[in-house]
């Protein structure tokens, strides 16, 4: 009996020892996993250098050197470091704008926009704020897609460049902003024309007219206006609204007399024994009288 009890105690002691070992192994495994996770988190972080406090002139010189060498991402991070380590220095303000420019050169447009916008918010009276507005416009402008796709970037670039012209009409950036405004407006008009032609070819004449009307009323100075007027002639004739078709052709002939679009419109009308004849009360006449 005593032997059996001793045996049971020995088994219990060995079991407790084994359990203790298992617990130790598990704790060691958990600790190793935590260390590995921390290392992974560190490696997954961005490639910014570890924080080492340095003189502002040294950091800025490094950033400028990286920018000159075309290492735009590194330059942006170094310019950010100027602001991080010396936020109240005179270098920090300039570094912020240079960081935005570096992000733009690296095609990191969203980072460039965010940085430029922060510069605008913090330094609205800075002499270089006009460039910050202009840079925001460029970041949108360079992502404009063809007219077959969504035109959100076109609209955003248009708004940004209009802001440059409105706020800084005499700045060095206003002239180029005006040129890009014209190009953006032409692009938006092209989108309306594409949709209008789609509706027209499918016999959806009212929907087509609405698109061409948008071109006439909002984008009168773009290259798409002559075609828009001709398409209106086609759509109105298809609906049997001859007076508006004649007006569209008359306005087209008066403003673009030598265009192929007018020749096509004239042929359509004469084929139905009609002539271009302007109705002064038409929305088409009113739209053109407000511009020309």
Neighbours of 128 (CB within 10 A): 14
Q: How much is the average pLDDT of 261-269? A: 96
Domain shared by 118 and 231, yes or no = no
Q: How much is the average pLDDT of 264-291? A: 91
Res 85: pLDDT: 79
Domain shared by 181 and 95, yes or no = yes
Q: What is the DSSP letter of 149?
A: S
Query: pLDDT for 130-151, tens place per residue?
Result: 999 999 999 999 999 877 788 8
Chain position carrying tokens 């008359």: 250
**In this model, does residue 8 exceed pLDDT 50?**
no
Domain shared by 273 and 171, yes or no = no
Query: pLDDT for 25-38, tens place per residue?
Result: 334 443 333 334 33
End-of-domain residue from the set 163, 187, 211: 187
Q: How much is the average pLDDT of 224-231? A: 97
In a domain, 227, yes or no: yes
Work out the angle between the directed axes of helices 109-122 and 90-105 (0-180°, nearest 10): 150
- What percent of the chain shows pLDDT beyond 90? 65
Q: Cα–Cα distance between 25 and 234 in angstroms, integer?
A: 84
The range of the structural domain enclosing residue 183 comes to 56-187
Q: How confident is the model at residue 47 (pLDDT cuts 50, 70, 90)?
A: low
Tell which wins on pLDDT, 87 or 19: 87
**In this model, does residue 268 exceed pLDDT 50?**
yes
Domain shared by 262 and 140, yes or no = no
Q: How much is the average pLDDT of 104-129? A: 95
Nearest one of 88, 44, 98 to 67, comparing CA atoms: 98
Res 53: pLDDT: 72
Q: Are 290 and 251 in contact (CB under 8 A)?
A: no
Domain shared by 111 and 233, yes or no = no
Helix, strand, coil shares, percent, the chain, to 5: 75, 0, 25
**In this model, does residue 22 exceed pLDDT 50?**
no
Return all residues near 156 (Cβ < 8 A) that are at least 6 apart.
140
Res 90: pLDDT: 82
**In this model, does residue 201 exceed pLDDT 60?**
yes
On average, the pLDDT of the chain sits at: 83
Domain shared by 65 and 144, yes or no = yes
Domain shared by 85 and 163, yes or no = yes
In a domain, 48, yes or no: no
Which domain CATH number covers 153?
Answer: 1.25.40.10
Res 30: pLDDT: 30
What backbone phi and psi angles, to 5 degrees, belong to 230?
-65, -40
In a domain, 110, yes or no: yes
Domain shared by 111 and 231, yes or no = no
Domain shared by 214 and 103, yes or no = no
For 125, how many CA atoms within 13 A lie in the half-sphere containing its CB? 0
Res 87: pLDDT: 79
Domain shared by 265 and 178, yes or no = no
End-of-domain residue from the set 160, 187, 214: 187
In a domain, 82, yes or no: yes
Q: How much is the average pLDDT of 237-247? A: 96
In a domain, 112, yes or no: yes
In a domain, 36, yes or no: no
Return all residues near 252 (Cβ < 8 A) that are at least 6 apart.
226, 229, 230, 233, 259, 261, 262, 265, 276
Domain shared by 180 and 122, yes or no = yes
End-of-domain residue from the set 187, 219, 242: 187
Domain shared by 61 and 178, yes or no = yes
Q: How many domains does the chain have?
A: 2
Res 77: pLDDT: 92
Q: How confident is the model at residue 96 (pLDDT cuts 50, 70, 90)?
A: very high
């Amino acid at each position: 009996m005593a032997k059996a009890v001793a045996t049971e105690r020995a088994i219990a002691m060995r079991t407790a020892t084994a359990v203790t070992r298992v617990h130790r192994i598990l704790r060691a495994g958990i600790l190793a996993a935590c260390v590995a996770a921390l290392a992974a988190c560190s490696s997954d972080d961005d490639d910014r250098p570890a924080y080492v406090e340095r003189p502002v002139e040294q950091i800025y010189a490094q950033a400028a050197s990286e920018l000159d060498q075309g290492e735009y991402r590194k330059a942006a991070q170094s310019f950010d470091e100027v602001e991080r380590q010396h936020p109240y220095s005179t270098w920090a303000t300039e570094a912020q704008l240079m960081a935005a420019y570096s992000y733009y050169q690296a095609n990191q447009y969203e980072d460039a926009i965010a940085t430029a916008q922060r510069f605008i918010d913090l330094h609205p009276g800075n002499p270089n704020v006009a460039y910050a507005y202009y840079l925001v416009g460029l970041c949108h402008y360079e992502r404009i897609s063809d007219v077959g796709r969504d035109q959100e970037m076109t609209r955003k670039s248009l708004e940004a460049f209009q802001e440059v012209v409105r706020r800084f009409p005499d700045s060095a950036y206003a002239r180029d902003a005006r040129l890009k405004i014209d190009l953006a407006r032409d692009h938006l008009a092209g989108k309306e024309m594409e949709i209008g032609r789609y509706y027209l070819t499918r016999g959806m004449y009212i929907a087509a007219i609405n698109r061409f009307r948008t071109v006439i009323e909002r984008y009168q100075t773009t290259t798409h206006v002559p075609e828009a007027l001709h398409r209106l002639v086609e759509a109105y004739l298809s609906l049997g609204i001859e007076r508006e078709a004649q007006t569209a052709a008359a306005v087209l002939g008066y403003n673009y007399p030598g265009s192929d679009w007018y020749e096509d419109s004239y042929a359509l009308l004469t084929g139905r024994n009609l002539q271009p004849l302007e109705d002064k009360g038409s929305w088409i006449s009113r739209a053109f009288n407000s511009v020309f």
